[in-house]
Amino acid sequence: MINAGIVGCGNIAWKWDYPKGKYFNTHAKSYYKNPDSNLTCCCDPDMKKAEGLAKTYNVKSFYKDYKEMLSRESLDVVSVCSPAVTHYEILAHILKHTGIKYILAEKPLTLNAGQTKRIVSLAKKKNVYISVNYLRRWDETTKKLREYIASNNFGQFQLGTIVYYSGFKENGAHFIDLLNFLGLKLYFDSVLSVSRIKGNKHDFGASLAFKTQDKKPLYFYWVDKENYRCLEVNLFYKKARVRIGDYSEVDIFQLKKAKAYPDIKKLALKRHLPSTICSSMRNSVKDIVKRCKENKVSYEALEREQEFMELISYIDKKVS
């Protein structure tokens, strides 16, 4: 049995779930329901949050101080679900002062490229596996979409638009990773507009222009969540259009001749892939527990995150 602990007891740790519900939106429920893991402890500076998680998921020990928890408990896996501003300090402590070899961290891994580089270096030195929790990589619908794109039935990528809310590091990061997962590598082009986010000096809302590896345009558009929340991706290929909605449901439009005008090519809905995003967290936890059982360590996720944070740090300078 793999012993797991959670640092930070907010929404993504446990509050977005119910133990008996069919969905998996949190770390706690995903460990709790995994037959190969035992969620033994949790911690949060707000003891009410830590106690709430512990009571809900039958966790035997809860703490205020993560250092005390890590020194007292014998853990195989740790989830870092605390605010992003605390990630570097917590990760560095785990790597320097514990023997834990498997870490599941919420994104972003750290606040900047320098911090990420130091964490990557420490992890490689200590032979520690760190997974950054980009949920769409674990989404079954997204995996199916990736297979469709790889089959080359859509033709060459032409243009893309992404609409997102909250900070670019917080939510935009998901879509940088998603596009990478779907085979599109992005290179920063220019800032279209920028807004600082109230109460969050470490992040920014920005509309940005990128180019793909084939020099095709792709645009991120930021919307203020005080008005409404919207997450939507539109990818235009030579012979198809892909729309990814708020909950990662996918609509695929492909070429169809118009009956009234046979010489005109149009796009018609060909396939709908329903949302499976509420199983992604379970899949993410299942993967790291399996890796721990099999003693598998790799650094692909960390190297992707380092590359991503270098891009973010570059953009951060441009929008400052």
The answer on pLDDT for 262 being more than 80 is no
> Which of the residue ranges 80-84, 91-95, 316-320 would you say has the lowest mean pLDDT?
316-320
pLDDT exceeding 90 applies to what percent of the chain?
Answer: 82
Query: Confidence band (pLDDT; 50, 70, 90) for 221?
Result: very high
- Mean pLDDT for 73-97 is 98
Place of tokens 């939106």: 25
* Amino acid letter, residue 52: G
- Mean pLDDT for 142-150 is 96
Query: Confidence band (pLDDT; 50, 70, 90) for 259?
Result: confident
- 218 phi/psi in degrees, rounded to 5: -145, 130
Predicted local confidence at residue 253, as pLDDT? 97
Query: Confidence band (pLDDT; 50, 70, 90) for 187?
Result: very high
* H or E element that contains 117: helix 113-126
- What pLDDT, in 10s, does the model give residues 287-316? 999 999 999 999 999 999 999 899 988 898
- Mean pLDDT for 93-111 is 96
Predicted local confidence at residue 263, as pLDDT? 81
- 66 phi/psi in degrees, rounded to 5: -65, -30
- What pLDDT, in 10s, does the model give residues 156-169? 999 999 999 998 98
Predicted local confidence at residue 65, as pLDDT? 98
Strands, E assignment, the chain: 2-7, 37-43, 61-63, 77-80, 102-105, 129-132, 157-164, 186-197, 200-212, 217-222, 232-237, 240-244, 250-257, 265-273
Predicted local confidence at residue 173, as pLDDT? 86
In the chain, the domains with their CATH numbers are 2-134+280-299 (3.40.50.720), 140-275 (3.30.360.10)
Q: Judging by DSSP bridges, how do beta strands 77-80 and 61-63 pair with one another?
A: unpaired
Maximum mean pLDDT: which of 19-23, 75-79, 304-308: 75-79
Predicted local confidence at residue 114, as pLDDT? 95
The answer on pLDDT for 223 being more than 90 is yes
* H or E element that contains 309: helix 300-319
Predicted local confidence at residue 317, as pLDDT? 87
pTM: 0.92
Query: Confidence band (pLDDT; 50, 70, 90) for 197?
Result: confident
Predicted local confidence at residue 73, as pLDDT? 98
Peptide bond into 108 cis (omega under 30): yes
Burial class (CB in 10 A: 0-12, 13-18, 19+), 143: middle
The answer on pLDDT for 145 being more than 90 is yes
Predicted local confidence at residue 198, as pLDDT? 77
**No. of H helices and E strands in the chain?**
9, 14
The answer on pLDDT for 118 being more than 90 is yes
Predicted local confidence at residue 196, as pLDDT? 82
